[in-house]
Amino acid sequence: MAGLCANARSGRRACAMRRAGGADLFSSEIPVSRSILHVLIFVCCLLPASSTLASETEAKRAREAVRVIDEIMQAPDRRIPSNLLREAHAIAVIPDVIKAGLVVGGRRGHGLIVVKTPEGTWSNPSFITMTGGSLGLQAGVQSTDVVLVFRSRRGVDSIVHGKFTLGADASAAAGPVGRSAQASTDAQLKAEIYSYSRARGLFAGVALDGSVIAIDHDSNQAVFGEGITPRRIFEGGVGNVPEVVVDFRDRLEEYTAQSAE
């Protein structure tokens, strides 16, 4: 009996020790758990903010592209000729291309591109980048709006596959301006892409050989969702396209319709 009592007392002490140990362990874990919870809440708060920031960046780019096409097309004697607009296979607008350098200059810009669908309408825009270098004496930094008019499918197909270089993958020339392109030079008539720039209010053809046009996958993902390809965008396989992005497409539709009148 004495042994049983001793064992019982020993068991009670062991249980008490376990309970005490459990309380100590739990109390030591509470601050750690709360700290982890605070970190998780902070991270969750950051994720929507990052997405919103990316969307605002792309929205601003789309608004700037609309501004560029409006300012160009509202100047009848210095606009993209009407027949080029109707016959174009694609149009890219890259606002505020930065050109910097003293001896060796470089270009960098972000914009949008739309392609002509089989029905003759413009597709949803895909986001693109333009990079390239140039040699020559240059001073300071200059911001220029760039417009590319694609006159063949080859350049469009290159864009769908990722990127291409003006002058290498597709021939490019400074494009004609005005109401008609009938007075184009031989070099212009042979070019697959017409390139234009607008700086300080002057819109004119410009040579951009060596510039690389590439799909901006990060921006496309921010606007259309993960895994969306350029081909899917061009073929209308995306939904919930932001209004500001659709506005760029619709504005080109309006100017194309006007050129047919």
Query: pLDDT of 181-193, one tens digit each?
Result: 554 555 556 788 8
- Beta strands 90-100 and 141-150 are antiparallel
CA distances from 69 to 27, 199, 255 (A): 65, 13, 9
Nearest-angstrom CA–CA distance, 153 and 222: 27
Q: Comparing C-alpha atoms, which of 156, 162, 58, 153 is closest to residue 112?
A: 58
Q: Comparing C-alpha atoms, which of 163, 159, 27 is closest to residue 90?
A: 159
**Per-residue pLDDT tens digits for 3-60:** 444 444 444 444 444 444 444 433 444 444 565 655 455 444 444 433 444 488 999 9
**Residue 92, H or E segment:** strand 90-100
pTM of the model: 0.72
Which phi and psi (to 5°) does residue 222 adopt?
Answer: -65, -30
